[in-house]
Amino acid sequence: MTSPPPPLLIVEDEPDLRQLYTLALVKAGVDAEAVPDLAQAHARLRERRYAVVLTDMRLPDGTGLELLRALAREGRSERAIVITAYGSADNAVEALKAGAFDYLTKPVAPARLRQAVAAALAAGAPGPDLAAHSPLGAGSVSSPIQPSPSSPHAASTAAHTARSQPSPPPSTTTPPLLHPAATDPGADSAIALPPETSAAGATPRRMSSASGATVWSAPPAESVPLPPALARLIGDSPAMQAVRATILRVARTMAPVLVTGESGTGKELIARALHACSHRASGPFVAVNCGAIPADLLESELFGHRRGAFTGAHSDKLGLFQAAAGGTLFLDEVSDLPLPMQVKLLRALQERAVRPVGATAEEPVDVRIVSATHKDLERLVQTGQFRHDLYYRLNVIPIRAPALREHPEDLEAIAAAVLAQLTQRDGLPHVPALTDAALARLRAYPFPGNVRELENLLERALALHPGAVLDADAFPLPGFDAAPPLAGPSAAPHGTSPNRTGAGAHMASALHGMGVSAESAAAAITVGAAPSDTAPAPDGDTTATTEPPDAPLPRAQLEALLQRNRWNQSRTARELGWTLAKLRYWMQRLRVG
């Protein structure tokens, strides 16, 4: 005999809405109970367990946030969804930070309500059992907008589909209830993400003490392997362990995530790991670089358009929001969005709906948003270049990708993985090994381009120094071995002294080797340099040489990188992951060359 569907608890003070939500869920075959206030909600939670709790933000005897905090404090496994008429960005962010799985804004359509409940059930399911109990089904999490397999929408999203990754094993221990009471013998097993990971990134095991309290025991590193998506985030340093632990804790929620960090630190890898460890892993992962799309095409690319909406729109076109239905949309370099587009993105995030260009009505979308930037969004908010309400909407859960110079102990493992990948790609018979001298040289270099620059260095060394071993001479870095000078007066840009530039790079490397950060080393060089070391400012403007606060890297680092590449701007732009136009812009702003 099939077990009954998992129960849901609705906490809503308006009788009409209680009845509407109950009927919408019962019609779908989901057992739902409704109470009008916080006190009765606590009483019901003492009596039994629920799969999902729907709560209004404002209640007669308290707020929904109080219930969320109580659930989190007692370690309950219920997934909470906040329904509120006060749908401001601050309320939504506060609810998500308090532990809500999702939030809805009144008026809530029955289809949107069933969609959110189905997503919560799928996220809380340890496997197929809980999803099988639900008549909504694991496959119908995005059923209101999920296309049929034969539809053009399915064909367009199939190209973006990411493979599913296994989630951490579920716990079998029932956490303490909100108040001491006998537990329901037929209650579902608890489903909770661990508070932290072990030193190797493995998921701790959950155990019960004699008093019934929940404790966490870290298993041996070899007993629980990392999920494949997390295994791509190489490194056992505290910084990388913290990143993996955060991913495990927040992957199975709907809260927006903002990934920050310098260029080349692997922000997209973090976003892909979040997707692969979430309940949306079987859905598409769609990545878009917001700075790579012309401003006049952004709305059409993100939201789609209707036939005849503008010149050249010969047919309907789905946007990236629709292509990511049921999955994750990754907005890379979100800080590059123009202000008018920021307003439209904010509405799409708040309403969970988009209006294609030329359409008269909005279309619901079911996507999780992960965004990334290498810029300081807080500073952009202060200067008016980025909307503060959109910033708070995106920055619910921040994850910072550490720069490579901040965890040099991981450099050897990262280099070995990159060399293995390059060897396999090129069909080489063996993976070359790095000597101690080569590793010492790489560790002493600040890597302004981070892991992307390391990959380029290793690829060049592998091509120019074939063999079983790569020694220090395979990596001509500033401050170690100066590159052979080019013949002729055009070896360096006008007004730049190669000898003085090399000395500055050597000083930066020496300071970094003594434990001084790259930024401090660059500042020391700038302050201590002779006036002739700095490109003269036009019209005697001595303040023009001051580095702008929004510069992506110090002037000395950019100049050292250009010198290492013999002032080849295309090669330098590739190492930094920049466009050639961006490199030339910052060369002009920083007065390099």
Alpha carbon of residue 455 to chain centroid: 22
Task: Please give the DSSP secondary-structure letter assigned to residue 187.
Answer: P
Residue 313: band (very low, low, confident or very high) from pLDDT cuts 50, 70, 90: confident
CA angle 83–85–86, rounded 5-degree value = 105
Q: Is residue 146 part of a domain?
A: no
How many CA atoms are closer than 13 Å to the CA of 203, on its beta-carbon side?
22
Residues 248 and 394 in one domain: yes
Question: How much is the pLDDT for 336?
Answer: 94
Question: How much is the pLDDT for 188?
Answer: 32
Residues 387 and 252 in one domain: yes
Q: Is residue 506 part of a domain?
A: no
Q: Specify the range with the lowest mean pLDDT, choosing from 163-172, 420-429, 489-498, 555-564.
A: 163-172
Question: How much is the pLDDT for 125?
Answer: 57
Question: How much is the pLDDT for 531?
Answer: 38
Q: Is residue 387 part of a domain?
A: yes
The Cα 523–Cα 300 span in angstroms is: 44
Question: How much is the pLDDT for 302?
Answer: 94
Residues 301 and 443 in one domain: no
Residues 397 and 300 in one domain: yes
Q: Which amino acid is at 210?
A: A
CB 77 within 8 A of CB 49: yes
Please state whether the peptide bond connecting residue 107 to the residue before it is cis, i.e. omega within 30 degrees of 0. yes
Residues 444 and 576 in one domain: no
Q: H or E segment at 321? A: helix 320-323
Q: Is residue 480 part of a domain?
A: no
Q: Is residue 283 part of a domain?
A: yes
Residues 6+ apart with CB under 8 A from 167: 126, 227, 252, 277, 279
Alpha carbon of residue 325 to chain centroid: 18
The Cα 6–Cα 9 span in angstroms is: 10
Which tops the pLDDT comparison, 199 or 110? 110
pTM of the full structure: 0.59
Q: Is residue 193 part of a domain?
A: no
Question: How much is the pLDDT for 5?
Answer: 45
Question: How much is the pLDDT for 86?
Answer: 54
Scan for tokens 């367990």, then name that residue: 49
Question: How much is the pLDDT for 192?
Answer: 31
Which tops the pLDDT comparison, 284 or 251? 284
Residues 380 and 443 in one domain: no
Question: How much is the pLDDT for 187?
Answer: 33
The Cα 199–Cα 318 span in angstroms is: 44
Which tops the pLDDT comparison, 431 or 573? 431
Question: How much is the pLDDT for 566?
Answer: 83
The Cα 114–Cα 120 span in angstroms is: 10
The Cα 490–Cα 492 span in angstroms is: 5
Per the structure block, which two tokens stand in for 172? 């079998």
Question: How much is the pLDDT for 9?
Answer: 92
Q: Specify the range with the lowest mean pLDDT, choosing from 79-93, 227-241, 254-268, 544-558.
A: 79-93
Strands 62-63 and 205-208: unpaired
The Cα 101–Cα 92 span in angstroms is: 11
Average pLDDT, the chain: 74
Domain count, the chain: 4
Question: How much is the pLDDT for 408?
Answer: 92
Domain boundary among 68, 91, 122: 122
Per the structure block, which two tokens stand in for 68? 């969320």
Residue 105 has pLDDT above 70, yes or no: yes
CATH code at position 89: 3.40.50.2300
Residues 6+ apart with CB under 8 A from 103: 81, 82, 83, 84, 91, 92, 95, 96
Q: Is residue 492 part of a domain?
A: no
Residues 378 and 449 in one domain: no
The Cα 593–Cα 583 span in angstroms is: 12
Residue 515 has pLDDT above 80, yes or no: no
Question: How much is the pLDDT for 486?
Answer: 40
CB 474 within 8 A of CB 438: yes
CATH code at position 287: 3.40.50.300
Q: Is residue 16 part of a domain?
A: yes
Residues 340 and 386 in one domain: yes
Domain boundary among 105, 122, 139: 122
Q: H or E segment at 407? A: none
CB 522 within 8 A of CB 576: no
Residue 460 has pLDDT above 70, yes or no: yes
Residues 396 and 420 in one domain: no
3-state class (DSSP) for residue 569: helix
CATH code at position 440: 1.10.8.60
Residue 492: band (very low, low, confident or very high) from pLDDT cuts 50, 70, 90: very low
CB 555 within 8 A of CB 523: no
HEC string of 416-481 equals: HHHHHHHHHHHCCCCCCEECHHHHHHHHHCCCCCHHHHHHHHHHHHHHHCCCCEECHHHCCCCCCC
Residue 136 has pLDDT above 50, yes or no: no
Question: How much is the pLDDT for 140?
Answer: 36
The Cα 188–Cα 130 span in angstroms is: 9
Residue 396: band (very low, low, confident or very high) from pLDDT cuts 50, 70, 90: confident
pLDDT tens per residue, range 281-291: 899 999 999 99
Which tops the pLDDT comparison, 133 or 233? 233
Backbone angles phi, psi at 554, to 5 degrees: -65, 155
pLDDT average, residue stretch 310-314:
87
Question: How much is the pLDDT for 304?
Answer: 93
Domain hosting residue 116, numbered range: 7-122
pLDDT tens per residue, range 408-418: 999 999 999 99
The Cα 574–Cα 562 span in angstroms is: 12
Residue 534 has pLDDT above 70, yes or no: no
Domain boundary among 75, 98, 122: 122
Residues 412 and 395 in one domain: no
The Cα 391–Cα 111 span in angstroms is: 29
Q: H or E segment at 155? A: helix 152-158
Residues 337 and 397 in one domain: yes
Residues 384 and 272 in one domain: yes
